[in-house]
């Protein structure tokens, strides 16, 4: 493993980073380090071009409506083509909360519509009454390379309601919480290696198994190829997040 390096590109880490999204990067860094896998983190913010071949995982965290409005057009103008090319060659693209919204077609906020980059077929609309979907959440997911369904636990807080296009597959089934729109019973989206979810928390420290799945998938490995770690603390964090969600 020592000759491998996980190359991560954090998109707008200065604008899209609420609810401890930075912890997700730290989690990947540590789990690589503990296994002797290199870790390279590059930031791409307003105006920065992105090299589609230079990264294994592209990360777009959560953001307030205001911050999303600041970066949505830039994402569309300066990074859209590169992210499509990266996804087409199998790189992982992970969008969290504000991030999932910008991976879709567009986000309607009252009179204004901000563009998404159309990596997945979904649209998001802010609720007319401004109500938010807030709380601890747990979803059941089935991912390639794993032996059965697993639980992702986290925290959601979004005013937007996300509707998936007819052909699009959700990331998981809501066990507790609201999910994409508070009604469908589904959460997130997964299309190839493009993944979107509303789960913050931060997501990865609460779900070490998912951090490893992302790490492995980004490197073109199976999750079982990664050396096991002592996950006593991580398992406790996961159990606590599940309990918080009422599972």
Binding site for ligand GLN (CB under 6 A): 18, 62-65, 68, 97-98, 157-160
Q: Which of 97, 158, 178, 238 is catalytic?
A: 97
Shortest CB 98 distance to ligand GLN, Å: 3
Q: Give dist(CA 145, CA 93) in Å, integer.
A: 18
Torsion of CA 175, 178, 208, 213, to 10 degrees: 90
**Residue 95 in 3-state DSSP?**
strand
Shortest CB 62 distance to ligand GLN, Å: 3
Q: Which of 55, 178, 200, 238 is catalytic?
A: 200
Specify the DSSP element, H or E, that contains 7: strand 5-11
Shortest CB 126 distance to ligand GLN, Å: 6
Q: Check the CA dihedral 228-140-195-136 and report its sign.
A: negative
Shortest CB 238 distance to ligand GLN, Å: 21
CB neighbours of 227 closer than 8 A, spacing ≥ 6?
A: 1, 35
Answer yes or no: 97 catalytic.
yes
Answer yes or no: 158 catalytic.
no
Cα 73 from chain centre: 20
Looking at residue 200, what DSSP letter applies? Answer: B
Closest C-alpha to 144, from 88, 223, 82: 223
Cα 178 from chain centre: 17
Catalytic residues: 97, 200
């Amino acid at each position: 493993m020592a000759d491998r390096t996980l190359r991560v590109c954090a998109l707008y880490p200065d604008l899209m980073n609420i609810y401890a999204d930075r912890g997700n990067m730290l989690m990947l860094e540590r789990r690589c380090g503990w296994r002797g896998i290199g870790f390279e983190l590059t930031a791409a913010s307003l105006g920065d071009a992105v090299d589609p071949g230079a990264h294994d995982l592209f990360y777009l965290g959560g953001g307030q409506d205001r911050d999303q409005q600041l970066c949505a057009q830039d994402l569309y103008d300066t990074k859209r083509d590169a992210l499509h090319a990266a996804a087409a060659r199998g790189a992982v693209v992970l969008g969290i909360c504000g991030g999932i919204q910008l991976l879709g077609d567009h986000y309607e906020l009252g009179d204004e519509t901000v563009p998404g980059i159309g990596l997945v077929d979904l649209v998001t609309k802010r609720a007319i009454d401004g109500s938010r979907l807030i709380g601890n959440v747990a979803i059941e997911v089935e991912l390639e390379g794993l032996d059965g369904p697993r639980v992702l636990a986290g925290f959601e807080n979004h005013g937007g309601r996300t509707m998936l296009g007819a052909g699009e597959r959700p990331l998981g089934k809501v066990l507790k919480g609201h999910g994409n729109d508070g009604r469908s019973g589904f959460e997130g989206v997964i299309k190839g290696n493009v993944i979107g979810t509303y789960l913050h928390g931060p997501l990865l420290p609460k779900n070490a198994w998912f951090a490893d799945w992302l790490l492995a998938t980004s490197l073109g490995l199976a999750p079982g190829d990664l050396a096991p770690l002592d996950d006593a603390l991580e398992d406790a964090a996961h159990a606590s997040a599940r309990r918080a969600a009422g599972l």
